[in-house]
Amino acid sequence: MLWLYTVVVCCLCVCLCVCLYVCVCVCVYVCMSVCVSVICCLLYVVCYMLSVICCLLYVVCLLYINMYAVCLSVVWIVRMAGAIYIVKRICQSHGSVTQHPGFPSP
């Protein structure tokens, strides 16, 4: 029974991580299509907070199953960190676009 409970909890963790990955993709899409740095930064903060919580849960779940899962969790964390870094870079580039000399200053 404990094994079944563990599998269910870990499946929920994986689902949460998939949802988070979609969230990061939405952040990237918004940053690329909308030059509103406030919206982009808010989405970035939300995605970043969710990613920290998600990765912690994911690591705990995988550690609970076996030690081989540590490698998988490290790979996942690296992927998420890379996605968040891309979002941050896009946000920064849009911030610099809005300050471009060709555009009127706010």
Tell me the pLDDT tens digit for each residue of 61-105. Answer: 666 665 555 555 666 677 777 777 777 776 666 654 444 444 444
Domain count, the chain: 1
Position 106 in a domain: no
Q: Inform me whether the pLDDT recorded for 49 exceeds 70.
A: yes
* pLDDT in the model for residue 82: 73
Position 103 in a domain: no
Taking the C-alpha atoms of residue 7 and residue 40, their distance in angstroms, rounded to an integer, is 35
Taking the C-alpha atoms of residue 29 and residue 88, their distance in angstroms, rounded to an integer, is 12
21 compared with 99, residue with greater pLDDT: 21
Q: Which of 24, 1, 15 is nearest to 79 (CA)?
A: 24
Q: Say which residues have a Cβ less than 8 Å from residue 25's Cβ, sequence separation at least 6.
A: 83
Position 6 in a domain: no
Position 23 in a domain: yes
Position 57 in a domain: yes
Position 74 in a domain: yes
Domain holding 69, by residue range, is 16-97
Q: Which of 99, 103, 94, 101 is nearest to 38 (CA)?
A: 94
Q: pTM here?
A: 0.35
Which position has the token pair 């269910």? 8
Position 83 in a domain: yes
